[in-house]
Amino acid sequence: MNTILITGVDKGIGRALMSTFLAEGYFVIGTFYADRPVSHERLKDFALDLGKPESIASCASAITNLGKPLDILVNNAGILADEEETNVVIEKLRKTLEVNLLGTIDFTQRLLPLMNVGSHIMNVSSTAGSLELVGKVSHFMGHYPAYKISKAALNMYTRTLALELKDRGVTVSSVHPGWVQTDIGGQEADLTPESAADAMYQLAISRPESGGFWFAGKRLPW
């Protein structure tokens, strides 16, 4: 039985991904921030606050102690702290980077020993973090600069991690889920979490070229 670890399964895309992989017969390890997910015989959940190093260390240690090698890791959890901002607010930038970048990297690096040969690490990013596309496709052209900075930096982590793991047979990808009806995307978005999860599932189980940035099976520009 294949094993997937998904961060942020208590709502939105993470919850939909959890449901999709459970339906496909996977053993799912999920992390939650506030609300524990519904119990399932093939689900093991752990509390995780990516903004707190002690929580990251504790969660990663508990997952390691399960003794289950990972076939897929989806770094889904993240925040949008500056939705209404058009200028960089340093306090919000620090908070955003702590969760979306530093916490995600810290958590991932601690779990690298668990990744199987042929496994796949997927970092949930956004076209808002594309240097080429920024200001062209974003629904709020000048808004949330901290979020955009965090996702651009996460994309670079994808590229550097792909190089780090190239000799281990581990694929690393960034994925844009689309404009999704979540707390971040808003209810006016054009995709449901379930439809976004379906496309992300297909990418997760495939073996694309490592170090790519993807949306619905197509490459995106950095």
| Residues involved in catalysis | 144
Which of these, 218, 136, 131, lies nearest to 173 by C-alpha position? 218
Are 6 and 76 spatial neighbours (Cβ–Cβ below 8 Å)?
Answer: yes
DSSP character string of 92-158: HHHHHHIIIIIIHHHHHHHHGGGEEEEEEEEEE--GGG-TTTTTTS-SSTT--HHHHHHHHHHHHHH
Cα–Cα distance measured from residue 208 to residue 49, given in angstroms and rounded to the nearest whole number: 30
Number of neighbouring beta carbons within 10 Å of residue 131: 10
CA distances (Å), origin 157, targets 11, 33, 67, 84: 25, 23, 26, 26
